[in-house]
Chains A and B, each alone.
Chain A
Amino acid sequence: MLSVTRRLFLAGTAISLAGLPRIALAEAPKRGGVLRMSVDQAASVIHPMLARVNPEYLVTELLYSNLTRLKPDMTVEPDLAMSWEPNATLTEWTFKLRPGVTFHDGSPLTADDVVATINAILDPKTASPGRTNVGPIKEVAAVNPLTVKFTLVGAYADLPVALTYLNARIVPAKVIAGDLASLSTTANGTGPFKLASYEPDRRIVVERNPAYYDPARPYLDRIELLVYPDRTAEASAMISGEIDLLLTTAPGEYERLAKADGVKALRTPSGQFLNINLGCDQKPFNDVRVRQALALVVDREATVGFVAGGYGTPGNDTPLSSAYHFYKNIPLKKPDIATAKKLLADAGYPNGIDLTLVASDRPSTRTQLGVAVREMAAAAGFRINVQTMPHATYLDQVWKKGNFYVGFYNMQPTADAVFKLLYTSDAAWNETHWNNADFDAVINAARVETDEAKRTALYAKAQDMMNAEVPSVISAFFDLLAAQRSYVEGYALHPRGSVFRLDMASLGAGAPKRA
């Protein structure tokens, strides 16, 4: 019985083929047309293993495919893999590949390509950001041309989710064996589109891949990506009809877009958040009372207003927002200056405390959070000096080293991913050095627990622990904001923020003809 539920839960099959929601539609999406869209920064890296920012993820998603794909509800569906199955201890996973898939150059996709890709990502020399995110993989091997077996370091229930990771796009083995760096300027993937022209700071054009494995998709003939570094300008371009789709916008522009004719403003809650990282191994934040005091001065509702322009949800010092699967709704902390003062006094700071909060200049919301918190905290005796610095300097000098700075994170696909990224002792980016053994144990138990209820309970406990001990102050989650012309169909904002599914988009009535 157990194995059956587990299989139902963990294994994926091609029955839930992508495009299923489409069946409900009376009309089939119109084929053809050119979609012009904007991104707010250049996709300067189209090497799928090295991409780091959303526009780059978008381009690699158009050109390549993963084994699995993340659905808007944060569960997985098949992509290049038709189905998968773990062993009983969750240490070995077998993936069956979709037959007949070809790369853009016409060569067939085989298990060797998958093996080579995963190995390349895991190779430190590749310097792929995805190295620590694709799961605890010990070994990957081709069983036969269409079957791949992953052997893991330990039990891990979320491997199919991990393989949706944005750098785990499958590339041909021969490219990896030959000139892997060539992927910086050329592309050879199995994705729905092929690279037509690449001028990173000006325009990137992709064209329909006629050999895509799903003959129905993509619907569009061509997508043009234009770079609009200025959000205001980007929104103006959308309003004037220069562009059909913009991936992300600012709250101020969102309201203008929502009011504009022919524009549909898009919004979805997400797990993207800003936090204030507290170095729990150093004075003064090694004292839990100082951390709690700081958590009590922050007006979370107001922060959503100040930082997210009202387009967000308040945070409760845990990294899980309501967009996550295992989110626990804990009553929201309210500002309590008196208690905060008392906690500070108890911790040995009756006359207040002087601190320097570092905020990098990108994105600018980091500084806004700093400024808002500085003013809110002043009442309780925190005298905070906000220091801004260029992002590169911040990464070099402060990130993972400082004990009081503003962090910014995208939503992760799973609860495990975000905890293991930031808060466990063995986290990839253990910024807070909270190093709480109890918390580690809870997270480790949850990642091998297959019972949904027990797992929910474990993650609830983890969230309670963070809410109580405040390794970092998480006061607001951002909603993702975007906009499209109303004739664009089939596009939906994905809460993950970095999944786009433009193969589903099409142009409906009223779309301008573009050569």
Chain B
Amino acid sequence: MSLAWFARRLMLMVYTVIVVSMLVFAITQILPADAAQSLLGENATPEVLAALRTRLGLGDPAWLQYGRWARHIFTGDFGISMRTSLPVGPEMLAALSRSLLLAVSAILVTLAIAVPLGVVAALRQGRLTDTGVSLIAYLGVSLPEFVTATLLALLLADTWHWLPATGYVSPLEDFGDGIRHLALPVLTVSLILVAHVMRMMRSETLDVLKSDYIRAARLKGLPERTVVFRHALRNALLPVVTIIALDVGYLLGGIIVIEEIFAIPGIGRALMVAITTRDLPSIQAGALIMAATYAVTNTLADMAYAFLDPRIRYD
């Protein structure tokens, strides 16, 4: 893991962002029912539409628009929202911070639940615990977020009144209330993630338990406890770093629905609103920021993995 390796990894990240920016721009450029129309709604008149289109630069060739857009983004300027007339960048980043709070909480909860369950299932392979864990896992990966969210809200909030159904309170303003409001969305996201991570954790643990070095450790006469905790767990946990990083991709997609349902003003909902109102700068900025978040997370995960795993470190 040399400096060159770092540099290469960073280059890849930059390449990712560039490819995504082009892709997002290309897709949004050919959106039908152009932005000016949707901006003006029922009150559009031809002359007003024309004026607005010129102002938004919608008439220029695509590559010119892309160049202008990319240049502005490079300087940190994501443009002005067509919908709210506010600068898109700060809005999206603020939204992202709220989404990240949700995402990070969900990942922590997931790890706390999924890792022990996965390991236990692997250690009790084929027994009742394992079957139970597998059933939960199947259920988790087979329920779409909107179903889980609805059912959880129906039970935990409307029927049993344990948690607030929706809404967002910044934990910075009121910590307790903020956490209470995060509980349901975090639970929903976690349920799906737990299913996934648990399955991975189980199969990783099984693989590690089958490995030669675990056999060697056992035959060295180490107690089972030491074998599992010192030798197996560590190696089984390492790939989870990468799995979690890849799940961030799912997570970022999933929060679109979660935030919509739970009224969390995060980047997912910002994107959903932007897409329904054809707010081009917001769509472009939101999608780019989301993809960049994913790229950065993965780069960091790769680096963390390389740092933690001597196998990679000295390749």
**Touching in the complex, A and B, CB below 8 A?**
yes
Residues of chain A whose beta carbon lies under 8 Å from any beta carbon of chain B: 42, 44-45, 47, 52, 124-125, 127-129, 131, 181, 184-185, 199-203, 226-230, 232-234, 236-237, 239-240, 242-243, 390-393, 395-397, 399, 429
Closest chain-A Cβ to B184's Cβ sits at a distance in Å of 10
Set of chain B residues within 8 Å of A396, measured between Cβ atoms: 32-34, 37-38
Contact of B85 among A184, A230, A392 (CB under 8 A): A184
Set of chain B residues within 8 Å of A234, measured between Cβ atoms: 166, 263
Q: How far is the CA of A131 from the CA of B42 in the complex (A)?
A: 12
Q: How far is the CA of A203 from the CA of B83 in the complex (A)?
A: 16
Closest chain-A Cβ to B155's Cβ sits at a distance in Å of 12
Q: How far is the CA of A227 from the CA of B273 in the complex (A)?
A: 12
Q: How far is the CA of A181 from the CA of B86 in the complex (A)?
A: 11
Say yes or no: A42 contacts B165, CB within 8 Å: no
Residue of A whose beta carbon sits closest to that of B272: A229
Residue of B whose beta carbon sits closest to that of A132: B43
Per-position contact with A for B254-292: 1 when CB-CB < 8 Å, else 0?
Answer: 000000111101000110010011100000000000000
Say yes or no: A124 contacts B276, CB within 8 Å: no
Residue of B whose beta carbon sits closest to that of A53: B41
Closest chain-A Cβ to B72's Cβ sits at a distance in Å of 19
Residue of A whose beta carbon sits closest to that of B94: A199
A227-B265, A390-B276 provided; 15 other pairs, C-beta below 8 A? A45-B85, A124-B45, A201-B270, A202-B98, A229-B263, A230-B166, A233-B166, A233-B262, A390-B33, A392-B33, A392-B278, A393-B32, A396-B33, A397-B33, A399-B42
Say yes or no: B37 contacts A229, CB within 8 Å: no
Say yes or no: B167 contacts A242, CB within 8 Å: yes
Set of chain B residues within 8 Å of A429, measured between Cβ atoms: 42
Known A129-B42, A393-B32; contact A237-B166, beta-carbon cutoff 8 A: yes
Q: Does B95 contact A (CB under 8 A)?
A: yes
Set of chain B residues within 8 Å of A233, measured between Cβ atoms: 153, 165-167, 261-263
Say yes or no: B260 contacts A230, CB within 8 Å: yes
Contact of A395 among B44, B52, B157 (CB under 8 A): B44
Q: Does B178 contact A (CB under 8 A)?
A: no
Closest chain-A Cβ to B232's Cβ sits at a distance in Å of 44
| Subset of 21 A-B contacts with CB under 8 Å | A124-B47, A124-B48, A125-B48, A129-B43, A131-B43, A199-B265, A201-B273, A202-B168, A227-B263, A229-B263, A230-B166, A232-B153, A233-B263, A236-B158, A237-B166, A240-B164, A242-B165, A395-B38, A396-B32, A399-B42, A429-B42
Closest chain-B Cβ to A239's Cβ sits at a distance in Å of 7
Per-position contact with A for B48-92: 1 when CB-CB < 8 Å, else 0?
Answer: 100110000000000000000000000000000101111000010
Set of chain A residues within 8 Å of B85, measured between Cβ atoms: 45, 47, 181, 184-185
Say yes or no: A229 contacts B48, CB within 8 Å: no
Closest chain-A Cβ to B35's Cβ sits at a distance in Å of 9
Set of chain B residues within 8 Å of A226, measured between Cβ atoms: 167, 263
Per-position contact with A for B91-121: 1 when CB-CB < 8 Å, else 0?
Answer: 1001100100000000000000000000000
Say yes or no: A237 contacts B260, CB within 8 Å: no
Set of chain B residues within 8 Å of A45, measured between Cβ atoms: 83-85
Say yes or no: B83 contacts A44, CB within 8 Å: yes
Contact of A392 among B51, B52, B277 (CB under 8 A): B277
Closest chain-A Cβ to B47's Cβ sits at a distance in Å of 6
Set of chain B residues within 8 Å of A232, measured between Cβ atoms: 150, 153
Q: Does B161 contact A (CB under 8 A)?
A: yes
- Total contacts A-B at CB 8 Å: 122
Closest chain-A Cβ to B146's Cβ sits at a distance in Å of 10
Set of chain B residues within 8 Å of A397, measured between Cβ atoms: 33
Q: How far is the CA of A239 from the CA of B166 in the complex (A)?
A: 11
Contact of A240 among B34, B44, B84, B165 (CB under 8 A): B165
Contact of A185 among B44, B86, B94 (CB under 8 A): B86
Q: Does B143 contact A (CB under 8 A)?
A: no
Known A44-B84, A393-B32; contact A240-B157, beta-carbon cutoff 8 A: yes
Residues of chain B whose beta carbon lies under 8 Å from any beta carbon of chain A: 32-34, 37-38, 40-45, 47-48, 51-52, 81, 83-86, 91, 94-95, 98, 150, 153, 157-158, 161, 164-168, 260-263, 265, 269-270, 273, 276-278
Say yes or no: B165 contacts A236, CB within 8 Å: yes
Say yes or no: A239 contacts B158, CB within 8 Å: yes
Set of chain B residues within 8 Å of A228, measured between Cβ atoms: 166-167, 263
Q: How far is the CA of A133 from the CA of B47 in the complex (A)?
A: 18
Residue of B whose beta carbon sits closest to that of A184: B85
Contact of A236 among B40, B94, B153 (CB under 8 A): B153
Closest chain-A Cβ to B278's Cβ sits at a distance in Å of 5
Say yes or no: B269 contacts A201, CB within 8 Å: yes
Residue of B whose beta carbon sits closest to that of A362: B276
Say yes or no: B165 contacts A237, CB within 8 Å: yes
- The 10 A-B pairs at the shortest CB distance, nearest first, are namely A236-B165, A184-B85, A392-B38, A233-B166, A202-B265, A129-B43, A396-B33, A44-B84, A392-B33, A127-B48
Closest chain-B Cβ to A27's Cβ sits at a distance in Å of 32
Say yes or no: A52 contacts B41, CB within 8 Å: yes
Set of chain B residues within 8 Å of A242, measured between Cβ atoms: 164-167
Set of chain A residues within 8 Å of B38, measured between Cβ atoms: 391-392, 395-396
Known A129-B43, A236-B157, A240-B165; contact A392-B269, beta-carbon cutoff 8 A: no
Say yes or no: B166 contacts A184, CB within 8 Å: no
Closest chain-B Cβ to A208's Cβ sits at a distance in Å of 21
Q: How far is the CA of A390 from the CA of B41 in the complex (A)?
A: 12
Set of chain B residues within 8 Å of A240, measured between Cβ atoms: 157, 161, 164-165
Set of chain B residues within 8 Å of A184, measured between Cβ atoms: 84-86
Closest chain-A Cβ to B261's Cβ sits at a distance in Å of 5
Residue of B whose beta carbon sits closest to that of A127: B48
Set of chain A residues within 8 Å of B161, measured between Cβ atoms: 240
Residue of B whose beta carbon sits closest to that of A201: B265
Closest chain-A Cβ to B93's Cβ sits at a distance in Å of 13
Say yes or no: A395 contacts B33, CB within 8 Å: yes
Residue of B whose beta carbon sits closest to that of A52: B41
Set of chain B residues within 8 Å of A392, measured between Cβ atoms: 33, 37-38, 276-278
Set of chain B residues within 8 Å of A203, measured between Cβ atoms: 265
Q: How far is the CA of A202 from the CA of B273 in the complex (A)?
A: 12
Q: How far is the CA of A240 from the CA of B164 in the complex (A)?
A: 7
Closest chain-A Cβ to B270's Cβ sits at a distance in Å of 6
Set of chain B residues within 8 Å of A236, measured between Cβ atoms: 153, 157-158, 165-166
Closest chain-B Cβ to A256's Cβ sits at a distance in Å of 8
Known A392-B33, A397-B33; contact A200-B48, beta-carbon cutoff 8 A: no
Q: How far is the CA of A57 from the CA of B83 in the complex (A)?
A: 15
Q: How far is the CA of A47 from the CA of B164 in the complex (A)?
A: 33
Known A233-B263, A392-B38; contact A200-B33, beta-carbon cutoff 8 A: no
